[in-house]
């Protein structure tokens, strides 16, 4: 947890950089395929510093994240299981495939909005070979809803949000870490549940 906290603090140092927008784009892009940390803390820091630009920052996050999702999709599609299993454990990938079989691209939209690790869904979408354009559409909807919710909140309530974040920044960081960890736990719980469910069906059918 301390490592993640340090990584978030390092990410936030880019907020005051002349390359802040580029850094936001890169973090958002790679988070959808490789990078372990979501760009939300940097988005919030930049939006609070300049509330008038908050919608623009949210758009940067959304476009970059969907671009990274497309990369993750093609990694899964072209690399196949051997490559993907070098990145993620099979027990994390196979349950996500089960979600795609049941809910198709709706699973993408849900994962794009929640703290669930999105990269697992983008890469697995390529393995499952769900329709690419439907995948992109739901990625835009999920990621856009998530980032614009943050950006527009700062845009409309900037001063009060800025005071709250400045005063309770440490608690905010800990809360974000909690949500991040909760997302991983939720992904594992859902994965284990679906695995048991599939095993039970196989036993009955056998």
User: Residue 77: what pLDDT?
Assistant: 85
Instruction: Please state, for a pLDDT cut of 90, what percent of the chain lies above it.
Output: 16
Q: Which of 133, 135, 123 is nearest to 94 (CA)?
A: 123
Separation CA 59–CA 24 (nearest Å):
11
Q: How many domains does the chain have?
A: 1
Dihedral, 111, 114, 117, 122 alpha carbons, nearest 10: 30
Could you tell me the residue range of the domain that residue 6 belongs to?
2-161+168-205
Q: Of 28-37, 60-69, 98-107, 195-204, where does mean pLDDT reach its minimum?
A: 195-204
Give residue-wise pLDDT tens across range 56-67. 999 999 999 999
End-to-end CA gap in the chain: 44
Rg for the chain (alpha carbons), in Å? 18
Q: How many CA atoms lie within 13 A of 25 on its CB side?
A: 8
Give residue-wise pLDDT tens across range 113-159. 766 677 777 888 888 788 899 889 888 988 988 899 888 888 887 66
User: Residue 149: what pLDDT?
Assistant: 84
pLDDT tier at 71 (50, 70, 90 boundaries)? very high
Separation CA 103–CA 200 (nearest Å):
20
pTM, rounded to two decimals: 0.71
User: Residue 111: what pLDDT?
Assistant: 73
């Amino acid at each position: 947890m301390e490592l993640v906290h340090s990584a978030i603090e390092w990410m936030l140092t880019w907020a005051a950089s002349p390359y802040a927008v580029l850094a936001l784009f890169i973090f958002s892009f790679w988070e959808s395929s490789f990078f372990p940390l979501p760009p939300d803390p940097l988005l919030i820091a930049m939006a609070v510093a300049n509330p008038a630009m908050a919608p623009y920052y949210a758009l940067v996050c959304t476009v970059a994240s969907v671009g990274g999702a497309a990369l993750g999709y093609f990694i899964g599609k072209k690399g196949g299981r051997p490559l993907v299993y070098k990145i993620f454990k099979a027990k994390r990938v196979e349950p996500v495939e089960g979600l795609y079989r049941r809910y198709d691209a709706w699973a993408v939209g849900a994962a794009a909005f929640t703290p669930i690790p999105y990269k697992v869904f983008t890469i697995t979408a390529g393995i499952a070979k769900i329709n690419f354009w439907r995948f992109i559409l739901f990625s835009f909807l999920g990621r856009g809803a998530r980032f614009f919710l943050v950006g527009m909140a700062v845009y409309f309530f900037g001063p009060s949000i800025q005071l709250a974040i400045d005063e309770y920044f440490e608690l905010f960081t800990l809360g974000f870490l909690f949500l991040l960890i909760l997302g991983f736990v939720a992904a594992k719980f859902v994965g284990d549940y679906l695995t048991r469910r599939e095993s039970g069906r196989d036993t009955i059918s056998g």
